[in-house]
Amino acid sequence: MAGGSGTSSPPDVPGGARGSSGAGGSSGAGGAGRRPDRAVWTRVDGIQGASLDLLNARIARRHYAPHAHDEYAIGVCVDGLETMRYRGERLYSAAGSIVVIEPGEAHTGGPADQDGFAYLCLYPTAELVGAASGWDGGLPHFREPIVDDPGLAGRLRLAHRSLRLGDDPLEGESRLLEVLGAIVRRHAVRVPPGEAGPHGASGIARAVAARLSDELVGPPTLAEVAADLGLSRYQLLRAFRDSMGMPPYAWLAQHRVARARTLLDAGHRPAEAASLVGFADQAHLTRWFRRVLGVTPGAYRNSVQDRARRRPAS
């Protein structure tokens, strides 16, 4: 999630900077003695009238499948080295730096070497990021997803911790808004409303995504969508992949995961959520849920419910 160099070559990372406890899978070559992959999701309510998701993860073996978020993903690597594919480039992410993924942009993520990596991430909406920046209209755009700003990285870690612990909601929200505003003012440029409107491949991709989203449980065939748009299947596939960074079937699967996540938040069981969003069964949902979010649907549901039970009544 976070980056060090922003180049296609891994940065030099001193051996002592990795910490004494590397992340690791529970099986496979070189995995003995290392802790298993771990991803803990936390939801915080009442942030500018909305919810905010937080992630705390240590990854040794898992590689996230290409996916996109409806929100910004703003994280900081706290140990090790990550590699990710974003905007057509292979990036490397070292401890102490920040990475920003913009809404709707496909990306991957995984360990760059056998020692794994650990990171913290939060997922603010575009409205929240815009409000924190104090800008009147326009979306913050980060030309460089890798942000080398150690001071801000430290502030981001403090905000994440304060929000996750929940001991003082006012402190957590204040730290969050301050660090979001600072990241935008120092490292983003404003995109005027309408400037990034869809056209060409982007317009085709958005039309296909809208159709798939509307027909989530019984999606149309590639031939049907292509015919409706006056395209060949090859033209549709190429335009969609060029714009979204993944083929339509993969986009549909990660979109189903996002919809299933909303249902789990509302109290549905994983098997119910799987059926309602179009997965063949709970096992199919679980495979994609782990590839996109790093945890099983059941573990995610339990973490959200545990947080709700711990929250003091207002």
Q: Where is average pLDDT lowest: 40-49, 89-98, 156-165, 203-212?
A: 40-49
Task: Dump pLDDT digits (tens) for 173-229.
Answer: 999 999 999 999 999 998 765 554 445 788 899 999 999 999 999 999 989 999 999
Confidence of residue 100 (pLDDT cuts 50, 70, 90): very high
What pLDDT shows up at residue 26? 38
Average pLDDT over residues 284-311: 83
Instruction: Check whether residue 68 and residue 109 sit in a common domain.
Output: yes
User: Is residue 18 pLDDT above 80, yes or no?
Assistant: no
Which of 128, 160, 191 finishes a domain?
191
Instruction: Check whether residue 175 and residue 295 sit in a common domain.
Output: no
**Is 285 a domain residue?**
yes
Which of 146, 173, 191 finishes a domain?
191
What pLDDT shows up at residue 2? 39
What pLDDT shows up at residue 112? 94
Q: What range defines the domain where residue 255 resides?
A: 201-307
User: Is residue 15 pLDDT above 50, yes or no?
Assistant: no
Average pLDDT over residues 137-143: 84
Number of domains forming the structure of the chain: 2
DSSP string, the chain: ---SS-SSSPPP--GGGG-S--B--SSSTT-TTSBPPEEEEEEEEEETTEEEEEEEEEESS--EEEE--SS-EEEEEEEEEEEEEETTEEEEEETT-EEEE-TT--EEEEESSTT-EEEEEEE--HHHHHHHHT-SSSEEE-SSSEE--HHHHHHHHHHHHHHHH-S-HHHHHHHHHHHHHHHHHHH-EEE-TTTT---THHHHHHHHHHHHHHTSSSPPPHHHHHHHHT--HHHHHHHHHHHHSS-HHHHHHHHHHHHHHHHHHTT--HHHHHHHHT-SSHHHHHHHHHHHHSS-HHHHHHHHHHHHHHSPP-
What pLDDT shows up at residue 308? 55
User: Is residue 298 pLDDT above 90, yes or no?
Assistant: yes
Average pLDDT over residues 97-104: 93
Which of 122, 157, 191 finishes a domain?
191
**Is 130 a domain residue?**
yes
Average pLDDT over residues 281-295: 94
The residues, ordered by sequence, that sit 6+ positions from 190 with a Cβ below 8 Å of its Cβ are 135, 138, 139, 140, 141
Instruction: Check whether residue 294 and residue 234 sit in a common domain.
Output: yes
CATH number at residue 147: 2.60.120.10
Instruction: Check whether residue 82 and residue 159 sit in a common domain.
Output: yes
User: Is residue 287 pLDDT above 80, yes or no?
Assistant: yes
Q: For residue 112, what are its two tokens?
A: 């760059």
Instruction: Check whether residue 185 and residue 66 sit in a common domain.
Output: yes
Instruction: Check whether residue 231 and residue 86 sit in a common domain.
Output: no
Instruction: Check whether residue 180 and residue 206 sit in a common domain.
Output: no
**Is 4 a domain residue?**
no
pLDDT > 70 fraction of the chain, expressed in percent and rounded:
83
What pLDDT shows up at residue 314? 39
Average pLDDT over residues 159-176: 93
Confidence of residue 111 (pLDDT cuts 50, 70, 90): very high
**Is 30 a domain residue?**
yes
Between 281 and 139, the higher pLDDT residue: 281
User: Is residue 35 pLDDT above 90, yes or no?
Assistant: no
**Is 312 a domain residue?**
no
Confidence of residue 132 (pLDDT cuts 50, 70, 90): confident
Summary mean pLDDT of the chain: 84
CATH number at residue 209: 1.10.10.60
Q: How far is CA 261 from the centre of its chain?
A: 13
Between 296 and 202, the higher pLDDT residue: 296
Confidence of residue 16 (pLDDT cuts 50, 70, 90): very low
Instruction: Check whether residue 21 and residue 71 sit in a common domain.
Output: yes
**Is 7 a domain residue?**
no
**Is 119 a domain residue?**
yes
